[in-house]
Amino acid sequence: MNDAAAGQEVAPDWKGGIEGTVGGSARTLDQAEIDSLLGRNNGAGASDDPNGMQRIINSGLVSYERLPMLEIVFDRLVRIMSTSLRNFTGDNVDVSIESIASLRFGNYLNTIPLPAMLAVIKAEEWDNQGLIVVDSPMIYTIVDVLLGGRRGTVAMRIEGRPYTTIERVLVERLIKVVLADLTASFDPLSPVTFRFERLEVNPRFAAISRLSNAAVVARLRIDMEDRGGRIELLLPYATLEPVRELLLQKFMGEKFGRDSIWETHLADELWNTEIVLDAVLDEQTMRLSEVMALTPGSRITLNAGPDTRIDLRCGGTPLFEGRLGKHKNVLAIEIERALPRPTAR
């Protein structure tokens, strides 16, 4: 586009090209150059990387890397799922994250490997939805494991046969286990309950968001020795909007930024902190002229007697009320009751 700054004038050519004038010489762009400019290279050797105006359009797509806490949530989900699926299947289970990516919802629907089962889920507290996609190898793996299939045999998909009721029920049980783990993963960050709504096999019936809306997709690989499959979790950014500020945090660690060693050290130092308590016998209101007239030797009469209650204060905050007395020839105050704390405004 540097030629445009040199004085290029581009006008549409209704005969199928774009005519450009550079320094007085006319040149017509062919269809291949137009497609390259618009980022529509669909040839056999075209790259999958966006270019041209397609890259400009996708520049507005928010990347999950701007939500660093979300990656910690998914890491926690992997650890919890490894244990829960091991208890659910009674087999050795290894769960790993293949990728976490941001893309548009419509583009994701076109990349779902069919046949698959799509579970529509709802985040109750956030009042929005998400998707869990279970691919065909994972479906037959979970059916094979739960129904006692022999190891070492690869499940085969019979083309043209719809999923049976037993397969749908077993996959629904798997999805509910994943949802419970997902709820536990978000719990330290923000309490939320993920609920299973329905199961679909056609991506068109699982449209929970506009096709142009951005979403984050976490692809999980589940291996059970010599068998396994993938589970993909999709959460639109509209679903994550209520906790966006929390996801922007950059705390690291399983406890989301809590450092137990520092907390213990801070608590010990606070308990050893020395503070000053003031025993207030009486308070009086005086005119400024009276205060200015005070000189060494002046006397101020306090309205306090042997039975007067004395306030104990720290930094101007009333803490306790007590009675003045003596203990081993030293003035002492016996605390009788705690005073109500003033409410912060």
Q: 249: closest CA among 112, 122, 117, 68?
A: 68
Could you tell me the pLDDT band of residue 7, with boundaries at 50, 70 and 90? Answer: very low
Tell me the CA distances in angstroms from 164 to 144, 155, 222, one per residue in order: 14, 15, 22
Q: Cβ(61)–Cβ(50) under 8 Å? A: no
Backbone φ, ψ for residue 11 (5° rounding)? -130, 145
Give the best-scoring range by mean pLDDT among 63-67, 186-190, 324-328.
186-190
For 276-304, what is the mean pLDDT?
86
Q: Tell me what the pLDDT averaged over the chain comes to.
A: 79
Does residue 68 have a cis bond before it (omega within 30 degrees)? no
At 202, list the tokens: 């056609």
Could you tell me the pLDDT band of residue 253, with boundaries at 50, 70 and 90? Answer: very low
Q: Percent of the chain at pLDDT above 70?
A: 76
pLDDT at 198 over 80: yes
Q: Is 334 exposed, middle or buried (0-12, 13-18, 19+ CB in 10 A)?
A: exposed
Q: Is 72 exposed, middle or buried (0-12, 13-18, 19+ CB in 10 A)?
A: buried
Whether domain 275-338 has CATH 2.30.330.10: yes
**Which of 58-72, 100-114, 135-149 is predicted least confidently?**
58-72
Backbone φ, ψ for residue 337 (5° rounding)? -155, 160
End-to-end alpha carbon distance in the chain: 59
Q: Would the CATH topology of 64-260 be identical to that of 275-338?
A: no
Which is more confident, 344 or 276?
Answer: 276
Q: Where are the domains of the chain?
A: 2-58, 64-260, 275-338
Scanning the structure block, which residue is given the tokens 């939320």? Answer: 192
pLDDT at 41: 55
Report the C-alpha gap between 191 and 123 in whole angstroms.
10
pLDDT at 1: 44
pLDDT at 15 over 60: no
Which is more confident, 130 or 260?
Answer: 130
Which is more confident, 342 or 56?
Answer: 342
For 271-290, what is the mean pLDDT?
87
Which is more confident, 18 or 241?
Answer: 241
pLDDT at 251: 59
pLDDT at 58: 56
For 242-269, what is the mean pLDDT?
73
The overall longest dimension of the chain from CA atoms, in Å, is 112
Identify the architecture of domain 64-260 in CATH: 3-Layer(aba) Sandwich (3.40)
For 315-337, what is the mean pLDDT?
85
